[in-house]
Amino acid sequence: MNYENLCLQVQKIARETGSFIREEGKKIKVSDIEFKGITSLVTYVDKSAEARIVAALKQLITDSGFVAEEGTADSKNEKYTWIIDPLDGTTNFIHGIAPHSVSIALKENDKIVLGVVYEVKLDEMFYAWKDSAAYLNGSEIRVSPNSKSENALIATGFPYYDFDRVDDYIAAMKHLMKHTRGLRRLGSAAVDLSYVAAGRFDAFYEHALHAWDVAAGAFIIQQAGGKITDFNGGKNWLFGGEIIAASNNYFDEFYQIINQNLGNK
C-alpha cells in the first residue's frame, strides 16, 4: 500500500467535499435542519457529503469498510476501514461560523494509518500517513514545545449528551481556568486535535465523543510528536468516548489534571 499517494487522493476528496459544503452553506435554511437530539443537529449537507465521500473512497479501496457518522455505509471487520465525519461542527456550519471540517481516517486492521482533516472556512488541510511527518497545507507541523500549564492554551468541547459527568467536567475546567492561559471551545473536535498537532493548542480533552470525531485528528497529533490516551491513561480513546491529547513535553502534567477530575475514581 502506497500510503502517501493514498493520502493525496483522500485530500482531494476532502477538498472537493469541502467545496460542496461551502457552496451549500450559502443556501441552508432553518427547514433543512434535523434534530438527532436537542444539541445534536444534522442537515442534508451532512448526509450528502458523507455519501459523496463514501462513493469516492470505495473507488480507492474497493473492499473497505466504513464507520461513518450518518450511517451511509458500515463495517464488517474488513482489513481496511474508513472512519468518516463528513461535517464535524454542524452547528457552526448552520450558523455560518468556523470551524467546521471534513475528517477522514483509514484504519488497517487495528491501527490507523492515514488521517486527513480539512477545515472548510479557512481552507486548511491537515494530514499525515503511516511513518510520515504531519503537515498543514504542504508544510510540516509539530506539537508545541511547551511543558508547563502556566504557558498552555487548552482546547475542549462541551458534551451534547451523557451529562452525568458535568460536575466533574466543570471541576476540570475550573482548575484549568486558574492555572493555564485559558480554555477554548471551537466546536469541532477534529479541528481542535489538528490545532494541537500544529502547536496552536497545547492540549485537548473531551468526553462523549465518537470514533469519527477523533480518528483522523488524533493520528495527525501522533505523527506530529504528541501523545493520546483515554482519561485513565489507556488506549481506549478511539471507541471509548473520551480522549486526552497533548505534546509529549506537557502530557504528564496535563494528564494528572484530567485524570484527577475525570478518571475512574
CATH of the domain at 192: 3.40.190.80
- pLDDT at site 160: 72
Q: Which residue has the higher pLDDT, 29 or 69?
A: 69
**Do 28 and 131 share a domain, yes or no?**
yes
Is residue 170 classed as helix, strand or coil in its secondary structure?
helix
110, 80 Cβ separation under 8 angstroms: no
pLDDT of residue 130: 98
Q: Distance (Å, rounded) from C-alpha 111 to C-alpha 82?
A: 11
Out of 112, 141, 170, a domain closes at 141
The whole-number pLDDT of residue 37 equals 58
Do residues 166 and 121 share a domain? no
Domain boundary among 84, 111, 141: 141
Q: Are 196 and 246 in contact (CB under 8 A)?
A: yes
Domain end position, chosen among 141, 160, 188: 141
pLDDT digits (tens, 9 = 90+) for 28-44: 766 667 766 555 677 88
pLDDT of 76 > 80? The answer is: no
Q: 90 with 176, same domain?
A: no
Q: Tens digits of per-residue pLDDT, 163-214?
A: 788 899 999 999 999 999 999 999 999 999 999 999 999 999 999 899 999 9
